Amino acid sequence: MFRVGGPGRPADDRSFDTAEVIEAEALLSGTGAGAEGGIVVPWPLLFRHRIHRRLARSERYQWWVLWTVLAGLLSVNITFTVFVVALPQVATQLHTTVTTLTWTSTGPLLAFGVAAPILGKLGDLRGYRRLYLWGLSGAAVSVVLTASAPTAGVLIAARLFDGVQGAATGAASMALVLQAFSHEDRVKAMGWWALVGAGGPVLGVTIGAPIIQYFGWRALFWGELPLMAIAAVLAVVVLPAHDGSVELASDGEGPEPRAAGAPREPETADRAGADPVPAGAPNAPPAAASPTDRAGDSPVSPWRQLDWIGSAALSGAVTAGLLGLNLAPSWGFTAPATLAIFAVSLVAGVYFVLHERTTPRPLIPLHYFSKRNFVFPLGARAFVNFSYMGGFFLFPILMERVYGYSETSAGLLSTARPLMFSISAPIAGYAAVKVGERWSVVVGAVTLTVSMLVFTQVGSDPSVVIIVLALALSGLGNGISTPSTASSASNEVAPDELGVMSAAQLLITQIGIVAGIQVMVTVQASGHGGVGSLASFHRAFAVGAVVAVLAAVCGFFVRNTARPGRVRPASEMPVT
């Protein structure tokens, strides 16, 4: 039997509040007070607690957190690429056009831009584990709606909702990983993160294409549900439940129960002799108390702590910018409607900056933008994704229209790029510990530049070996740079702001991706030789090369993370 609380507990004992919380949970779950007046905790909660405690004692607990989060990331992104392949089949079944269904790809990007800032901040205030589980639940709902969509409108709405849950799971999962790892080791974790982020869609194409061919596109999404269920169970058991949770003690083991929000001791150790966890350790929860309206008042509600005006302004700026980039190729970059949308984005962005300078609880503190290791890694990240994804989108068009490849053959060759990305990213994360983040970003950007330059030189009958080499260099460049840009920017952020900053990183990445695709496609399509002209592709890839050089320039300004046993050269020391 496992009980917390009971008669005779002093009124001023903090664990009395814990008992009240557990009693509420017990009542909601259909259990109640035992014969002795204690609260009977549901056995699943007790089982989860005991398993979690054993995992948390492990020296590799941070890796358990990483594998758990990556399982969720894989379950969500595995259908990302292959669904685009299925659009002709979907259009036929739903009696619509492929052009209409392109909103199943564009819509989630816009929904992500609207939801990411507020959801990332909500994770900072309410807990990353909770936001992550909400996101996984939303992903399951989105999958069900997608698989059962009777019309194109319902399908597009389901994918829009998928963008919202993507903002929740993306920001929360990255924040959970960053929270678990020390500053010195975050680059390793981000390498594995990049592996799943790039490798998941490749695996999805490999497995999903036959499923679509033999069982239909709906079966693809129904098959995604078991993966999400497994990811959710792992998350409940493994992920730390510090934020807003109740810590339980059983049968005399472990620390006494503590109410949610109660202050922690500077150092904690379980009664079984585990090493103490210093306050502020990578996987220790933040010790800061919740802000209050006035001294002595109750903590401010998380919903009241949210910067709603700043969130709306930033979401409006990002969404209008993404929408303008999506519509510009068909409307024209200088068309009045396009310029009006970009003007809305600019005005909203300026208002966001002005608002953040005066609000007491800013969504993103502006002082971060004066930090060299925050601005330049994000700039490099945006420029790298501009070139990488712009080239990724143009390559199959080049192979089909100029060289006469079939869609299947072009798609098969395209996998060389994300495959090299996913293989190189974990290795690059470990290498960055040795050589530093600066050279990792620079080398990655230069490698990507070389890939773009190779594509500017391909002739009318290029060798397949040269093409595969250029694709591999592109994936290698992104794989080398991504772990270092992600970890460097994150190391500048306060522990209680990892959620909104993770969302900001993902937004920057999406802006780079959309800008790269739309700008390079527009440059290629506007060539004087026509859309099928080899020279038009050369010009587009030349633009990608120039932007990749800008990423390398940003990389030169990135400072390496200080690590024990490594003396920082004078060039890396902060300027005071």
**463-471, long-range: CB < 8 A, 24+ apart:** 464/413, 467/413, 468/413, 468/416, 471/395, 471/413, 471/414, 471/416, 471/417, 471/420
- List helix spans (H) across 127-185: 128-147, 152-180
- State which H helix or E strand residue 438 sits in: helix 437-457
Q: Residue 111: inside a domain, yes or no? A: yes
Same domain for 510 and 555, yes or no, is yes
Q: Please, how many CA atoms are within 13 Å of residue 407, restricted to the half-sphere of its CB?
A: 5
Beta carbons of 194 and 482 less than 8 angstroms apart = yes
Q: Please, how many CA atoms are within 13 Å of residue 97, restricted to the half-sphere of its CB?
A: 2
Same domain for 198 and 317, yes or no, is no
Q: Residue 300: inside a domain, yes or no? A: no
- pTM of the predicted structure, to 2 decimals: 0.74
Instruction: Tell me the two tokens of residue 347.
Output: 């005005």
Beta carbons of 263 and 88 less than 8 angstroms apart = no
Q: CA 119, 284, 431, 374 torsion: positive or negative?
A: positive
Q: What is the 3-state secondary structure (H, E, C) of 291-335?
A: CECCCCCCECCHHHHCCHHHHHHHHHHHHHHHHHHHHHHHHCCCC
Same domain for 128 and 67, yes or no, is yes
Helix, strand, or coil (residue 107): helix
Q: Residue 190: inside a domain, yes or no? A: yes
Instruction: Report the interhelical angle of 464-490 vs 534-556 (nearest 10°).
Output: 30
Same domain for 413 and 530, yes or no, is yes
Q: Residue 275: inside a domain, yes or no? A: no
Beta carbons of 562 and 573 less than 8 angstroms apart = no
Query: What distance in Å separates the CA atoms of residue 406 and residue 294, rounded to the nearest whole number?
Result: 68
Beta carbons of 200 and 78 less than 8 angstroms apart = yes
Domain count within the chain: 4
Same domain for 505 and 398, yes or no, is yes
Query: What distance in Å separates the CA atoms of residue 198 and residue 574, rounded to the nearest whole number?
Result: 34
Beta carbons of 235 and 168 less than 8 angstroms apart = no
Same domain for 357 and 401, yes or no, is no
Same domain for 387 and 357, yes or no, is no
Taking phi first (over 0 means left), then psi (-120 to 50 degrees means alpha), and beta for anything else, what does residue 273 get?
Answer: left
Tell me which residue of 359, 372, 360, 554 sits closest to 446, measured CA to CA: 554
The range of the structural domain enclosing residue 196 comes to 57-248
Beta carbons of 427 and 197 less than 8 angstroms apart = no
- State which H helix or E strand residue 267 sits in: strand 267-268
Beta carbons of 244 and 127 less than 8 angstroms apart = yes
How do the pLDDT tens digits run along the chain, 576 residues long?
344 443 443 344 333 344 444 444 444 444 444 444 455 556 566 666 666 677 767 778 889 899 999 998 888 888 776 677 677 788 888 888 877 787 887 778 778 877 888 888 888 888 888 899 999 999 999 999 999 999 989 999 998 898 888 888 888 888 899 888 988 889 999 999 888 877 777 777 777 777 887 888 888 889 889 999 999 988 888 888 654 333 333 333 443 333 333 333 333 333 333 334 433 444 444 444 445 444 444 455 666 677 788 888 888 888 888 888 878 877 888 888 889 999 999 999 999 899 888 888 888 888 888 889 999 999 999 999 999 988 888 888 888 888 888 777 777 788 888 889 989 999 999 999 999 999 999 999 999 999 999 999 988 888 889 999 999 999 999 999 999 999 998 888 888 888 888 888 888 888 888 888 888 888 887 765 554 578 889 999 999 999 999 999 999 999 998 876 554 444 444 443
Q: Residue 465: is it exposed, middle or buried by C-beta count within 10 angstroms (0-12/13-18/19+)?
A: exposed
Q: Residue 270: inside a domain, yes or no? A: no
Q: Residue 298: inside a domain, yes or no? A: no
Buried b (16+ CB within 10 A) or exposed e, 270-294: beeeeeebeeeebbbbbeeeeeeee
Domain boundary among 231, 248, 265: 248
Domain boundary among 318, 336, 362: 362
Residue carrying the six token digits 């497995």: 207
Domain boundary among 214, 248, 282: 248
How many helices (H) and strands (E) the chain has is answered by 22, 4
Please give the backbone phi and psi of residue 511, each rounded to the nearest 5 degrees, phi first. -60, -45
Query: What distance in Å separates the CA atoms of residue 317 and residue 109, rounded to the nearest whole number?
Result: 13
Instruction: Tell me the two tokens of residue 495.
Output: 């522990």
Same domain for 316 and 239, yes or no, is no
Tell me which residue of 432, 469, 433 sits closest to 451, measured CA to CA: 469
Q: Residue 24: inside a domain, yes or no? A: yes
Same domain for 482 and 524, yes or no, is yes
Q: Give the per-residue pLDDT at 163.
A: 86
Q: CA dihedral defined by 67, 73, 74, 76, rounded to 10 degrees?
A: 150
CATH code for the domain in which residue 78 is found: 1.20.1250.20
Please give the backbone phi and psi of residue 229, each rounded to the nearest 5 degrees, phi first. -65, -45
Same domain for 400 and 320, yes or no, is no
Same domain for 85 and 201, yes or no, is yes
Q: Residue 268: inside a domain, yes or no? A: no
Same domain for 398 and 500, yes or no, is yes
Query: What distance in Å separates the CA atoms of residue 135 and residue 506, rounded to the nearest whole number?
Result: 15
Q: Tell me the residue length of the chain.
A: 576
Query: What distance in Å separates the CA atoms of residue 179 and residue 242, rounded to the nearest whole number?
Result: 12
Neighbours of 60 (CB within 10 A): 10
Residue carrying the six token digits 């330049």: 376
